[in-house]
Amino acid sequence: MHSLLSRGNAIVAYTLSLLACLTFLCFLSTLFVDYRTNATINTVKVVVKNVPDYSASREKCDLGFITFDLHANLTNLFNWNVKQLFLYLTAEYTTANNALSQVVLWDKIILRGENAILDFKSMNTKYYFWDDGNGLRNNSNVTLTLAWNIIPNAGLLPSIFARGQHSFTFPSEYTVARL
């Protein structure tokens, strides 16, 4: 009555529908898990330099240099639905030119099964801390925050902020020494 091709099509369609339903149920099993944890961030060394911006204008812009300590235990974030964590440390600040500036200073990928305990001392930033003007010198409202994206097996890609942040002030004078 039915051909072999139509029977095969029905079996494949039923199997895919069943797998989609099972994947959705698996996703629901971790939907309400709290993925936040405590992080301790501290600045060790903070300096600011006024250097030429290598764009078309050739004006001088502020470049911040930070050395930081970071401590966090992320082992409780891993469950069967977490493949990896993409961590990033951001600096948020305001200047006269910008109501809010955000700069990613450091990032790291932690795969499931790797050591998820962060205990870094006197780390340098991975990326430059450029300001688009002269807004870093004597800026007293710079806040460091650790956040992460969870890369799941199935489901959403949430962006989570750690409990704990660190605010600091840049020096009022530019550093002229080579770092």
Q: Which domain holds residue 123?
A: 33-168
Per-residue pLDDT at 162 exceeds 80: yes
- One domain for residues 57 and 136: yes
Same domain assignment for residues 27 and 67: no
Mean pLDDT in residue range 167-177? 88
Q: With respect to residue 8, please indicate whether it lies within any of the assigned structural domains.
A: yes
Q: Is residue 56 located within the same domain as residue 116?
A: yes
| Mean per-residue pLDDT over the chain, rounded | 91
CA distances from 176 to 61, 87, 142 (A): 14, 32, 22
Under a CB-based contact definition with an 8 Å cutoff, are residues 158 and 35 in contact? yes
Q: Apex CA 55: angle with CA 50 and CA 61, to 5°?
A: 15
51 shares its domain with 74: yes
User: How many domains are contained in the chain?
Assistant: 2
75 and 134 fall within a common domain = yes
What values do phi and psi take at 85, rounded to 5?
-115, 135
Three-state DSSP class for residue 94: coil
What pLDDT, on the 0 to 100 scale, is given for residue 9? 93
On whether residue 145 sits in a domain, the answer given is yes
H-run or E-run covering 16: helix 4-28
What is the mean pLDDT of the segment spanning 88-112? 93
- Say whether both 123 and 94 belong to one domain: yes
121 and 150 both lie in a single domain: yes
Kindly state whether residue 64 falls inside one of the protein's structural domains.
yes
Q: Is 92 inside any structural domain?
A: yes
- Classify residue 6: in a domain, yes or no: yes
The whole-number pLDDT of residue 1 equals: 60
- C-alpha to C-alpha distance for 144 and 40, rounded to whole angstroms: 10
- What's this model's pTM, rounded to 2 decimal places? 0.85
The answer to whether residue 107 is domain-embedded is: yes
